[in-house]
């Protein structure tokens, strides 16, 4: 059984078989075996139509591969036990299915015939992705196959849609390019539930006619009294921590701080564990007021108090509205920002709208609760200047590993990737860094069947402009991956401003692992130094 490197933080299996159903059956069979025998080093097991990814920390790659090689391959002789049969009530047409009439006309049939065919089929959940709980459903009758809409537009939560040879259900309001033919009142994803996703890969789905009742309004639960008040919010201030690994199989992005190194360092400056919740700010920060005495620290600004613990009395203010030195800056308060954990993390998932402070960016007037502080470094005549500032006109270097679809691209494309200078586009965000520069041509004319991705995956969309996936990435994607930026270099990209120039350099998997070890060693040295500072009288 062959495993391919999906960057330096996942192994990828691709099933073979005569038809898509056989390949999916092999994937689900293997996923069952791995789940039963899972070892602690594995963060998640993510399945898609014909592929399966096993995610882990970059330091554990060799250990995880040895475990995987001990697992018998899927036989494909017998299909795995069928998943649950879930009946999904749908109200077709009208306001619930605004594309029904046009879709039926394009297909050359009456709307009632489309509804009959759609409801007569039985579907299989091949994968969950795009957004938390979004099911990609195989089994759509061939007569209902339609290309995606030319332009995505807002789609309501619960929308039942078709595109290509698949059906799907939008768990939350989002942008979508599928044809919406109805809506269901079922809540497909609830992050506060012990079993957050209604559907799992391998489940069977049947649509039945029903009423589309509106979702009941969910009022955000009140937080504890806030010790930190936001007087003036920055452009994009969010609560972030180390992220929520372990839920990618349900379509939930691991998310967390875009620059986990800066987040960990600023936490250590106030005595917090590395995964405590901090404020992540982009381009500029907020003005805050402390309603109780607090020890705080910030990194990413150029003022003389950055990089050291600062003791503040009740009523003191912090003004970080100046331009950040790096694209992102981080502020920690001793005790951590004590918003509720959602799926094990306090990180804000902006696309899904949960976690952090009510799933959104901070606004003026918000009050942030703070946890119980621990002993931390004592302020003195020292400061941490790390990571060191990069001159604005410098040429950044990103090391990369060969992508899982590298064979789809001709030699001239690989040369262009290695030799070209790219600029970071202003269209970049926490999900991905879009790059302007030489367009990358792909030899493979057919579209890619969606498969797992990792942070650092370099996707090539039809326009040829590469996208490097970042913290709040999707869990599976349909663009070919020509390369994977190594984990040790992703913080460089997270700090870089739009317009920054960069180039790529190919390395081996062993070199990527060595770079990660150096990265971790530097953090360990910093931890030791700060611990010595904390012990001073």
pLDDT digits (tens, 9 = 90+) for 388-433: 767 778 999 999 999 999 999 999 999 999 999 999 999 999 999 9
Which percentage of the chain shows pLDDT scores above 70?
95
Q: How do residues 177-219 score in pLDDT, each as one tens digit?
A: 999 999 999 999 999 999 999 999 999 999 999 988 755 445 5
pLDDT on residue 537 = 36
**Can you spell out the DSSP letters for 266-304?**
HHHHTT--TTS-EEEEEEE--EEEESS-EEEEEESS-ST
- Helix, strand, or coil here: 242? coil
Q: Which domains does the chain have, with CATH numbers?
A: 4-69 (3.30.1360.40), 85-209 (2.40.100.10), 228-368 (no CATH), 395-506 (2.40.100.10)
Give the torsion sign (CA, 429, 431, 433, 439): negative
Supply 227's token pair.
């010790």
Reported pTM: 0.92
Q: Which stretch of DSSP H or E encloses residue 12?
A: strand 10-14
Nearest to 460 by CA among 434, 483, 435, 479: 479
For the chain, residues with pLDDT lower than 70 are 76-82, 214-225, 389, 445-447, 534-537
pLDDT on residue 178 = 95
Q: Half-sphere exposure of 229 toward its Cβ, with a 13 Å CA cutoff?
A: 12
CB 298 within 8 A of CB 402: no
Nearest to 423 by CA among 413, 434, 412, 431: 434
CA geometry: angle at 151 spanning 150 and 154, to 5°? 140
- Helix, strand, or coil here: 415? helix
pLDDT on residue 536 = 43
pLDDT on residue 241 = 98
147-175: b or e for each residue (b if 16 or more CB lie within 10 Å)? Answer: eebeeeeebbbbbbbbbeebbbbbbbebe
pLDDT on residue 81 = 55
């Amino acid at each position: 059984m062959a495993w391919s490197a999906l960057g330096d933080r996942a192994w990828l299996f691709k099933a073979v078989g005569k038809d898509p159903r056989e390949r999916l059956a092999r994937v689900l069979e293997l996923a069952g075996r791995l789940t039963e025998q899972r070892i602690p080093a594995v963060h998640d097991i993510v399945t898609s139509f014909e592929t399966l990814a096993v995610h882990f920390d970059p330091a554990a790659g060799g250990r995880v591969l040895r475990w995987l090689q001990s697992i018998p391959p899927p036989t494909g002789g017998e299909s795995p036990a069928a998943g649950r049969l879930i009946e999904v009530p749908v109200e077709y047409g009208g306001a619930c299915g605004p594309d029904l009439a046009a879709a039926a006309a394009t297909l050359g049939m009456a709307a009632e015939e489309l509804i009959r065919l759609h409801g007569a089929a039985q579907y299989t959940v091949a994968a969950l992705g795009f957004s938390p709980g979004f099911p990609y459903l195989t089994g759509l009758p061939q007569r209902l196959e339609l290309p995606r809409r030319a332009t995505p537009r807002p789609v309501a939560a619960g929308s039942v849609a078709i595109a290509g040879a698949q059906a799907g259900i939008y768990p939350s309001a989002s942008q979508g390019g599928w044809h919406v033919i109805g809506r269901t009142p079922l809540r497909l994803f609830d992050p506060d539930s012990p079993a957050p996703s209604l559907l799992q890969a391998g489940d069977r789905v049947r649509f039945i006619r029903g009423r589309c009742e509106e979702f009941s309004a969910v009022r955000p639960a009140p937080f504890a009294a806030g010790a930190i008040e936001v007087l003036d919010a920055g452009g994009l201030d969010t609560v972030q921590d180390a992220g929520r690994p372990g839920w990618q199989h349900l379509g939930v992005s691991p998310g967390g701080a875009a620059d986990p190194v800066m987040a960990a360092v600023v936490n250590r400056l106030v005595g917090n564990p590395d995964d405590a919740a901090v404020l992540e700010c982009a381009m500029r920060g907020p003005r805050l007021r402390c309603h109780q005495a607090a020890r705080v620290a910030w990194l990413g600004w150029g003022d003389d108090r950055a990089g050291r613990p600062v003791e503040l009395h009740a009523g003191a203010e912090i003004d970080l509205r100046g331009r950040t030195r790096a694209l992102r800056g981080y502020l920690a308060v001793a005790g951590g920002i004590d918003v509720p954990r959602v799926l094990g993390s306090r990180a804000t998932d902006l696309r899904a709208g949960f976690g952090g402070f009510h799933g959104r960016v901070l606004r003026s007037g918000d009050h942030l609760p703070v946890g119980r502080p621990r002993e931390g470094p004592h302020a003195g005549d020292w400061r941490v200047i790390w990571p060191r500032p990069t001159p604005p006109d410098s040429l950044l270097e990103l090391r990369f590993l060969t992508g899982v679809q590298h064979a789809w691209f001709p030699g001239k494309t690989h040369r262009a990737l290695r030799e070209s200078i790219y600029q970071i586009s202003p269209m970049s965000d926490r999900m991905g860094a879009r790059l302007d520069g030489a367009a990358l041509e792909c030899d493979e004319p057919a579209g890619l069947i969606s498969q797992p991705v990792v942070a650092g995956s370099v996707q090539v969309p039809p326009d040829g402009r590469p996208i490097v996936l970042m913290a709040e990435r999707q869990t599976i994607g349909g663009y070919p991956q020509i390369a994977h930026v190594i984990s040790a270099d992703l913080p460089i990209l997270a700090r870089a401003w739009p317009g920054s120039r960069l180039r790529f350099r190919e390395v081996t998997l062993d070199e990527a692992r060595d770079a990660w070890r150096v990265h971790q060693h530097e953090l360990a040295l910093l931890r030791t130094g700060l611990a010595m500072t904390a012990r001073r009288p």
